[in-house]
Amino acid sequence: MGSLDGRVVLITGAGRGIGREEALFFAAEGAQVVVNDPGVAIDGTGGDAGVAAEVVEEITARGGQAVANTDSVADWDGARRMVETALESFGDLHAVVNNATIERNQGLADLPEEDFDAVLAVKLKGTFAVTRWAARHWRERHRAGIRIDRAVVNTSSGSGLLNPLPTQASYAAGNAGVAALTTVAALELGRYGVRVNCVSPSMARTRLTRTVPGMGQEPPAGRFDPLDPAACAPVAAYLAGPACPLTGQVLSVRGGTVAVNQGWSLGGHIHRDGLWSVEELAEQVRELPVDDPYDKLAQALTGALGTVGRDRLQEMIDALLDQAAPSGTATA
């Protein structure tokens, strides 16, 4: 008996990386899986139907049940069609795992409008679109008296929640938006028996992260790999399963560590009765404890690079921006 026996699950971006590992794990736990992936490049261009088909073949070869869907989550009707694929193939839909994403990394001053829009269309709008079509089906079933556990598992990232990574303005914004969307959706969809949570992988080795310093190194065979994208799969499966009581939560996953994110929370404060003057604020705000984004980035890189000083960190940021800039464009 698997933890997901009898559950029909739609997983977007399931052809590679974290999504692929989730699809394989969910199927091994007894789920019937819709493997969604248009097979695009990292930047969202191109397409290869064989990417999703290969994962389906791998699942069925192991005795599992799966079908492929190659629609884009950024396509409104495509999002509807992938939900319909689950209903037509397996008769119902119990959980959605929103994993699809793309990256187009450049410094903010060089980032084209179309690149920013493209990333948000997949990461944020795509998460909304698939969830929205699934929610409409679940609302209809709930109104018809069918009261069973349903679940949405969104996917965010340390980039956007914890680790401020230069050149990732669009990617970070999309991931932060997904986390915010998770909490709103949890409050709205609970009336239909739907739980909504989010996993936030941090330092997982995928084709999107292999160029990050330290990410390309793999441990000797047989030793636990904390950067293996498979580390996210059991956490997502738990959140998608009927035994999970959680909703509205964002869980960071880094190797064998699972941590609850507290989101944007109030810290230290100053107060006066009436309006502040600029001069008063200048004096009082300096006493407030604040998080320095340089310190956050340095902490995120410590595991891969050791201790990184501020000057060295700025050199790395400058080099990254120069590398990502369009040919012939100066960033400084």
Q: With bands split at pLDDT 50, 70 and 90, how would you rate the model's confidence at 205?
A: low
pLDDT digits 0-9 by tens, 107-124: 999 999 999 999 999 999
Give me the pLDDT at residue 206, please: 60
**Does 238 qualify as catalytic in the annotation?**
no
Q: Over 50: is that where the pLDDT of 331 sits?
A: no
Domain ranges of the chain: 8-260, 278-324
Q: How many CB atoms lie within 10 A of CB 279?
A: 8
**What CA–CA distances, in Å, run from 320 to 117, 120, 161, 301?**
22, 22, 20, 14
- Strand bridging mode 257-260 / 250-254: antiparallel
Tell me which residue has tokens 């960071």: 252
Catalytic residue among 171, 192, 238, 294: 171
Cα 118 from chain centroid (whole Å): 16
pLDDT digits 0-9 by tens, 34-77: 999 999 999 999 999 999 999 999 999 999 999 999 999 999 99
Q: How many CB atoms lie within 10 A of CB 323?
A: 13
The span from the CA of 253 to the CA of 238, in Å, is: 13
Q: With bands split at pLDDT 50, 70 and 90, how would you rate the model's confidence at 204?
A: low
Q: With bands split at pLDDT 50, 70 and 90, how would you rate the model's confidence at 294?
A: confident
Q: Reply yes or no on domain 8-260 having CATH 3.30.110.60.
A: no
